[in-house]
Structure 1
């Protein structure tokens, strides 16, 4: 019961900081004495910070409470095909340090990437200067409930990899990067409670949010949008299939089709082809899931309004049970999954103080 009440009080601080003890008692229905006892415990644990009182009238002024910006922190790491990123967030989810380095992993053993990730994590932890209590690692592949990477077509040596034991002794979880990017949209961009988030990169993944909760499927395999077939006679894919979406709308496919190394220099016909392919795959997903919003993230916001408008037009043509589907460009850019990874650590700490 006490743990439940600690979480209850902490949750109210998260929702309404800065807040007084009296306000917490009113919000939770607990007695003032109980609230004060719980608050002292949370202060001792470094989860809360007591601010100086502001005198605004007669009587004894209250000392407002807020989350401790110098308290426990979360580490996020993202390992992609061609880069590694790391960041540290405080209890509010604010990024306190971040770094990114190029790093090629397509044909490398997982230990190579993880070793570089650990080194980068040490750098951001030192810069943040906070006590990191756990880490979450985002990867571009299917991740089982126990954290084992089941399959990552663009990282062929990663099948069966366990990331956690290779880290610095921190508690580590592993998750799909598109799932985390979808949560970032929900947590940090006031994203809708029912949406399909599309993460464009070397591959194309999707995160599905239904009723404000991430839907992962029975084995964590939901959201493999990049391997939906959009052209049965199309090119071979690393997954073993043919004509998958990522072979038209993935980063490497776009650059190849545009005969350029710069996403900003893609010609209109390449964007139109990507929009048509995305429209085919997304229309099937929207018809199946009945979500009202599609969010384009990863590299897609960089491609801008022309891509968004073209995808919207394709969905209007193909979705049969909705008069309109809203298509948004993510405001978070390519760093959403990384931030959500780190934030998932502190959110769990706040949920279970």
Structure 2
């Protein structure tokens, strides 16, 4: 799970893949209750059908009284709702089931990209309740202007959401660049020409329900998280490389359905892998980066056929290094005018350059999520944090 929670009174749960292990602490009664509450909530969220209190008690080994009390706490916080039981098929009266609440808190995801802004609202069941996109070149604009427009789009997305006056549990913002997520700071976003900017601080007070700092993350990471979440319903991708083509090129690495972010959270900068030594200058300051031959401007200039080979070679390097079975092409790479040619070219290049391709061909998919994938993934990150720590949300409600 991405380390994404800056809420007042909310315990932060770090990703064990990216942070050193915390010192063990003795279990207290409250700690045990919180852990049991999270366990029950995950079972309800992940269940393919509504699950009863009795079933929760049986699966977890809790007493029925304990499971019922915890379920009631989730109901009171509007994190779950009861649904009518299915028709009886045998002796006994069927029990009502529990599902994630459709009227509970929502995650608000935002994206700042080079040529558009996007907003997405996602509910506790992972359903997208509304999306908005505002196209326009953000390069050369003052950050304050961009963030003001983003805040306005966020308010519009909340008002337009297919949910009655949703409570925004948190906001996450996707940006194209190096992000220090633990501090909400952009270290470098070369295509926006932003450096060392505390975007969380700048946005505080501009966003709805801004009683806590917004979460900030890389756009390709959030888009990969959206793809992982969506894939549970169809392709069931659990390990893959998501490659996001825009003006820049980024990647998100998903292992075991969770993001792998690297030691400092900067994994996935595939756009700045050198594919043409001595090639064209890149906005990052280097030469011959993948971005210079496979970014949107290059695609428009030379066509997808010319971009497919260097893109495939860069992707092959990542696949060889990480032993990934699948690749998802997203962003502009999924547009109809580019997708077919890029898919063919990347598949061919992977067959030639992935050392294990003879025995285990790499599956290449085109994303179906569209240009709002990163905003959707940002909203999913907020929702997943509630799933992981419902007791934290209850604490927020108590303090409100």
Report the equivalent of 2:95.
62
1:161 to 197, 202, 215: 197
Displacement, 1:55? 5.1
Distance 1:58 1:289 in 2: 53
Distance 1:170 1:208 in 2: 31
1:28 to 57, 60, 78: 60
Please tell me whether residue 181 in structure 1 is matched to residue 213 in structure 2: no
Displacement, 1:272? 1.8
Report the equivalent of 1:256.
301
Given that 1:296 and 1:328 are in contact with CA atoms closer than 8 Å, whether structure 2 keeps it comes out as yes
Distance 1:329 1:29 in 2: 43
Deviations 1:92-147, CA, capped at 9 Å, x for gaps: 11111211111322112222111111011111112222111100001001111322
Displacement, 1:54? 4.8
Report the equivalent of 2:16.
none
Report the equivalent of 1:318.
353
Give the match's secondary structure for 1:160.
Answer: strand
Give the match's secondary structure for 1:155.
Answer: coil
Q: How does 1:1-353 map to 2 (within 5 A)?
A: 1-16=32-47, 17-54=49-86, 56=88, 58-128=91-161, 129-144=165-180, 145-156=182-193, 158-165=194-201, 166-167=203-204, 168=207, 169-171=210-212, 172-190=214-232, 191-257=236-302, 270-302=303-335, 303-323=338-358, 324-353=361-390
Deviations 1:29-88, CA, capped at 9 Å, x for gaps: 111111111111111111111223455255444222111100011100011011101111
Given that 2:108 and 2:170 are in contact with CA atoms closer than 8 Å, whether structure 1 keeps it comes out as yes
Aligned residues: 340
Given that 1:72 and 1:131 are in contact with CA atoms closer than 8 Å, whether structure 2 keeps it comes out as yes
Q: Compute the TM-score of the two structures, normalised by the length of structure 1.
A: 0.92
Cα distance change of structure 1 residues 296 and 290 upon mapping to structure 2, 3 Å threshold: same
Deviations 1:132-168, CA, capped at 9 Å, x for gaps: 1100001001111322111111011x21112222233
- Of 99-108 and 208-217, deviating more is 208-217
Distance 1:6 1:342 in 2: 22
Could you tell me which runs of 5 or more consecutive residues in structure 1 were left unpaired when the two chains were aligned: 258-269
- Of 215-224 and 175-184, deviating more is 215-224
Distance 2:38 2:189 in 1: 37
Which stretches of structure 1, 4 residues or more, deviate above 6 A after TM superposition?
none
Could you tell me which runs of 5 or more consecutive residues in structure 2 were left unpaired when the two chains were aligned: 1-31, 391-400
Given that 1:204 and 1:246 are in contact with CA atoms closer than 8 Å, whether structure 2 keeps it comes out as yes
Distance 1:327 1:58 in 2: 50
Distance 2:244 2:95 in 1: 46
Q: Compute the TM-score of the two structures, normalised by the length of structure 2.
A: 0.81
Displacement, 1:348? 0.5
CA RMSD of aligned residues (A): 1.6
Deviations 1:186-234, CA, capped at 9 Å, x for gaps: 1112353222110001100011122333121222221111111111232
Give the match's secondary structure for 1:159.
Answer: strand
Cα distance change of structure 1 residues 237 and 21 upon mapping to structure 2, 3 Å threshold: same
